Chain A
Amino acid sequence: MADRITALLVECSVLVRCLYYQILTNLNFEVVSVQYAHEALELLQTDNDFDFIIIDAGRPDINGEVIMSLKDLAPHMKIIVSTFNIGLADGLLAAGADAFIIKPAQPEDIVDTLIELGIIG
Chain B
Amino acid sequence: MASTQIKAQLNDLLNSMFAMDFLDEQFKQLQMLEDGSCPGFISEVITIFCDDAERILSLITELLSKPVVDFEKVDAYVHQLKGSSSSVGAKRVALVCIKFRNVCQENDKEGCMATLYEIRREFDELNKKFRTMLQLEQQIQALDSKR
Which of A's residues lie within 8 Å of B, judged by CB? Answer: 13-16, 18-19, 22-23, 25-26, 58, 84, 103-104, 106-107
Contact = CB atoms under 8 A, between A and B. Distances in A.
Contacts of B69: none
The SS class assigned to the B binding surface is helix
Given A104-B26, A106-B29, A107-B33, A15 B52 contact: yes
A26 B33 CA distance: 8
A22 B41 contact: yes
Nearest to B44: A18
Contacts of B84: 13, 15-16
12 contacts: A13-B52, A13-B84, A15-B48, A15-B49, A22-B33, A22-B41, A25-B38, A84-B82, A84-B83, A84-B86, A107-B29, A107-B33
Interface string B57-96: 0000000000000000000000110111011100000000
A-B pairs with the 3 shortest C-beta distances?
A104-B87, A15-B84, A15-B48
Given A14-B52, A26-B35, A19 B30 contact: yes
B45 interface: yes
Nearest to A14: B48
Contacts of A104: 26, 29, 86-87
A21 B66 CA distance: 38
Contacts of A84: 82-83, 86
B44 A13 contact: no
B87 A13 contact: yes
B35 A15 contact: no
Nearest to A107: B33
A18 B26 CA distance: 14
B87 A19 contact: yes
Contact of A13 (B29, B38, B83): B83
Nearest to B53: A15
Nearest to A85: B79
